[in-house]
Amino acid sequence: MTNPTAIREHMDVVVSDGTHVGTVDRVEGQTIKLARKDPDAHGTHRWIPLDWVATVDRVVHLAKTHDEATRNWQTAAPAA
């Protein structure tokens, strides 16, 4: 699992082919909350599990395709 402290606010989030799918708002527990102000978010927060993260450098790289990520992300905050 990725060290969540490596993930910072405003980092870009990309899928396995390098396509942008969001911007980090913050880490919440075992999820990354994506910013609703990102142009691709259409005003809606989305949550992705930390275990989708392959690597973190200047951006958060997911080990998912665009279709897998957008089909499976959460559109409501996960239960605590």
Q: Specify if 78 maps to a domain.
A: no
pLDDT digit string, tens, across residues 9-29? 999 999 999 999 999 999 999
* Range of the structural domain that residue 47 is part of: 4-72
Q: What is the pLDDT of residue 4?
A: 81
80: in domain = no
pLDDT in tens, 61-77: 999 999 999 999 998 88
For residue 33, give the CATH number of its domain: 2.30.30.240
Q: pLDDT value at position 42?
A: 76
Distance CA 28, CA 17 (A): 25
Q: What is the pLDDT of residue 80?
A: 65
Residue 79 included in any domain? no
Number of separate domains in the chain: 1
Q: Report which of 34, 30, 33, 35 is spatially closest to residue 3, judged by C-alpha positions.
A: 30
Is position 55 within any domain? yes
